[in-house]
A = this chain, B = another copy of it.
Amino acid sequence: CLPQSSLASPSQYPSVKVTGFFQADAGWFHQDAANIVAVGDIQDGADFRRARLAATGDVAENVGYNVEFDFGFPGRPSFMDVWLEVRDTAWLGDVKIGHFRHPIGLGGLTSVKELTFIERGLPFAFLPFRQIGAMTSGADEEAGRTWALSGFRFPTDAFGGQIGDNGGYGLATRVTQVIAEDSNGGVVHIGGAYSLIDPSNDAVRYRSQPEFFIAETGGAAFVPAGIPSSVPPFVDTGVIATNKSHLFAAELATTSGSFHAQSEFIHAMVNRFGGSTVGFSGVSAQAGYILTGEHRPYNRKAGVLGRVVPNSNFGKCGYGAWEIAGRWSMLDLNDADIRGGRLNTSTLGLNWYLNKHAKFQFNYIHAFLDSPVNGDSDANIFAMRAQVDF
């Protein structure tokens, strides 16, 4: 160890980097008559899906932080990744404390700036996602292995707070492994995760929009009566009284040359008060191909697919990168007397990466809803996104 005096007041700490991004979306809906009856007459529109500013950096050689807020969500500016991390502790790997994404769900853990489609797949509906808590994690990048274990309070509100004497705790754990790789960065990844949650409000509720979301938050002066002010959930369990729910997740991903694909399956098991245990499932499978020849890298530290970077930027000397992609997702929220509905979505995507930090995305989504209450119905959605991050 060097004497502290040789490190005295090192000018590099605290380091601060300001980062952020926004996603401006527009969407057009074509619903059949039965779908309008089932979920309401969804309006075309445009909106900022996310708009974030963050400060991130280190306050010492082994302690980092991130303070990030989203200004696009309804409600106050919402807490996103707000944490401090002590790295390389003796027994606990990296220890993170604050508000962050807990380790379950391949789609949920992929950066929202690096999604192949405009929204994550339907199984995302089950995840605890960001909660206030603590996590220990690590990666053996050479061996292609990651692990994480976290505890949190649940359900945390949009501002990072949570109270309750009656439970209010959860845990999550995830392990991933590269099972095959080639010398050009190609990998095959598998992973599994589990979460146990005892919500303080003794309630869980799973629901999902059809993989696209816009909202009008200007109030009654902006949206006439009877019109949904945002894309409504197509499937919804309603509130289920419980003090224990389990999530089981399995994931598979690969990237090889200009091709990449990933799939995940999540099953939720809810032990109801005075009733039977009910189970719900979601599954998603997607593939993409980058027409201009780039390779989508694998993030060995996080165990997820990474960012597509164009070989040549759009401008006087190039056209950026172009990618086509397809996805199928299914979410089944029916079990026993819970009739939340079953939703299938098929999506075609076209992505134009202007450079490393700006992209336009175009999705055509066909949503097929099988509602126990309202019967079968269809919606077709055309959606666009402009994104820049820094």
Binding site for B on A (CB under 8 A): 1-2, 4, 7, 13-20, 22, 24, 26, 41, 43-48, 51, 53, 55, 57, 59-63, 65, 67, 69, 71-72, 74-77, 79, 82, 84, 86, 88, 97-99, 132-133, 153, 155-165, 168, 200-201, 203, 214-219, 221-224, 227, 229-230, 311-318, 354-358, 386, 388-390
* Distance of A201 from chain B, by nearest CB (Å): 6
Nearest B residue to A357, CB-CB: B59
**Contacts A163-B214, A214-B163, A218-B157 given; does A390 touch B60 at CB 8 Å:** no
Q: Are A163's CB and B45's CB within 8 A?
A: yes
Provide the residues of chain B in CB contact with A354, threshold 8 Å. Answer: 60, 63, 86
A286 CA to B49 CA, complexed, in Å:
41
**Contacts A60-B315, A315-B61, A354-B60 given; does A44 touch B165 at CB 8 Å:** yes
* Distance of A107 from chain B, by nearest CB (Å): 24
Q: Are B161's CB and A215's CB within 8 A?
A: yes
A7 CA to B294 CA, complexed, in Å:
17
The one of B51, B79, B316 in contact with A1, judged by C-beta atoms closer than 8 angstroms, is B316
The one of B4, B19, B312 in contact with A16, judged by C-beta atoms closer than 8 angstroms, is B19
**Contacts A53-B53, A77-B71, A354-B86 given; does A65 touch B388 at CB 8 Å:** yes
A163 CA to B357 CA, complexed, in Å:
28
A selection of 21 A-B contacts at a CB cut-off of 8 Å is A1-B318, A4-B317, A22-B67, A24-B160, A44-B168, A45-B161, A51-B67, A51-B82, A57-B390, A62-B314, A63-B354, A84-B386, A84-B388, A86-B354, A88-B316, A157-B218, A159-B217, A164-B216, A201-B221, A201-B222, A201-B223
